[in-house]
Amino acid sequence: QQPVQSPQAVILREGEDAVINCSSSKALYSVHWYRQKHGEAPVFLMILLKGGEQKGHEKISASFNEKKQQSSLYLTASQLSYSGTYFCGTDGSGGSNYKLTFGKGTLLTVNP
Amino acid sequence: SQTIHQWPATLVQPVGSPLSLECTVEGTSNPNLYWYRQAAGRGLQLLFYSVGIGQISSEVPQNLSASRPQDRQFILSSKKLLLSDSGFYLCAWNGGYSNQPQHFGDGTRLSIL
């Protein structure tokens, strides 16, 4: 079951904040977040595991609400380098699986 | 450190021709290996994955096949390409279950004429 990402696209000015959501109709064990710049391969950002933990990486952080079966990625004080497509990948198998199901992505554009 | 190599970077093939894309991983042993396809402006579609030599799981029935002849080598093949096979093909690896991050190669951009 493919997770649903929202919004599909967002345009920001440098310094503004954004939130990208990832929702699943199935119970989730883990949520991965990746960023892909145009024409390049996706780059791993972070993993959130069942337990509702929040993780952070510089000005990018994420939360995981297992009861709501959703994760949110928070980008604060956005920089031009944050532009790209953000994908969430989910696993609902309980951790015994080897594969992820990716959402369709959220295109983030940061303008000067 | 671990690195993943994928080649070629770009490929233009006529309809009906065969295909072979190769992916190798260095610096780790017994990785899980994955082939994804990404259509223009679309998400990542898992095609195949492998948890060991000779072990291939297919996610999408189509005219593509995958093989893993060596521990750190993953090959994507087709006997006859279709127009719909165009896209950006990505190889990835990780070190275990789904709680491990996947690391992607630079991809192959395949155009079918």
Give the rounded percent of residues in chain B with a pLDDT score beyond 90: 81
pLDDT digits (tens, 9 = 90+) for A52-95: 666 666 789 999 988 889 999 999 999 999 999 999 999 877 66
**Residues A8 and A104 sit within 8 Å (Cβ to Cβ):** yes
- Asked if residues B74 and B50 have their Cβ atoms less than 8 Å apart, the reply is yes
Confidence label for A5 from pLDDT (cuts 50, 70 and 90): very high
Distance from CA of A85 to the nearest CA of B (A): 9
pLDDT at A27: 85
**Hey, what CATH topology would domain A4-93 get?**
Immunoglobulin-like (2.60.40)
Pull the structure tokens for residue B51: 């948890």
User: What is d(CA A16, CA A26) in angstroms, rounded to the nearest whole number?
Assistant: 32
> Would the CB atoms of B46 and A98 count as touching at under 8 Å?
no
A29-33, A49-53, A104-108, B55-59: range with highest mean pLDDT: A104-108
Does the CB of A105 have a partner CB in chain B at under 8 Å?
Answer: yes
pLDDT at B61: 67
Question: Is A89's CB within 8 Å of B44's CB?
Answer: yes
Written as one string, the DSSP assignment of A84-109 is EEEEEEEE-SSS-----EE---EEEE
Interchain contact A1–B (C-beta under 8 A):
no
Whether the per-residue pLDDT at B69 is higher than 90: the answer is yes
Residue partners of B10: CB distance under 8 A and separation at least 6: B108, B109, B111
Residue B83 has pLDDT above 70, yes or no: yes
Q: What are the extents of the domains in chain A?
A: 4-93
Range picked from A51-60, B45-54, B92-101 for highest mean pLDDT: B45-54
Confidence of residue B1 (pLDDT cuts 50, 70, 90): confident
Q: CA of A105, closest CA in chain B: separation in Å?
A: 6
What is the pLDDT at residue A52? 61
Q: Is the model more confident about B11 or about A92?
A: B11
Distance of CA A56 to CAs A60, A83, B36, B46, Å?
A: 6, 18, 27, 27
Which residue among B97, B101, B105 sits closest to A97, beta carbon to beta carbon?
B97
Given B57, B98, B107, which is nearest A41 (Cβ)? B107
Residue A53 per-residue DSSP state: -
Q: Which of A55, A19, A10, A35 is nearest to A102 (CA)?
A: A35
- Contact present, A64 and A10 (Cβ < 8 Å): no
pLDDT at residue A96 is higher than 70: no
- Say whether pLDDT at B7 is over 90: yes
- Could you tell me the fold of the domain covering B3-112? Immunoglobulin-like (2.60.40)
Angle at A73 between CA A70 and CA A79, to 5 degrees: 165
Amino acid at B88: F
Contacting residues for B105 by C-beta, under 8 A, at least 6 apart: A41, B4, B5, B6, B23, B90, B91, B92
Q: Which of chain A's residues have a Cβ under 8 Å away from the Cβ of B43?
A: 2, 87, 102-105
A77: closest CA of chain B, how far (Å): 26
Contact B99 A91 (CB under 8 A): yes
Mean pLDDT of chain B, nearest integer: 93
Extract the tokens encoding A43: 């780059």
Average pLDDT over every residue of B26-38: 94
Interface test with A, best of B44, B47, B59 (most A CBs within 10 A): B44
Window 16-35 of A: residues touching B by CB (8 A cutoff) are 29-30, 32, 34
Nearest Cα residue to B92 out of A53, A87, A28: A87
**What pLDDT digit, counting tens, does each position of A13-61 carry?**
999 999 999 999 988 888 999 999 998 999 999 999 887 666 666 789 9
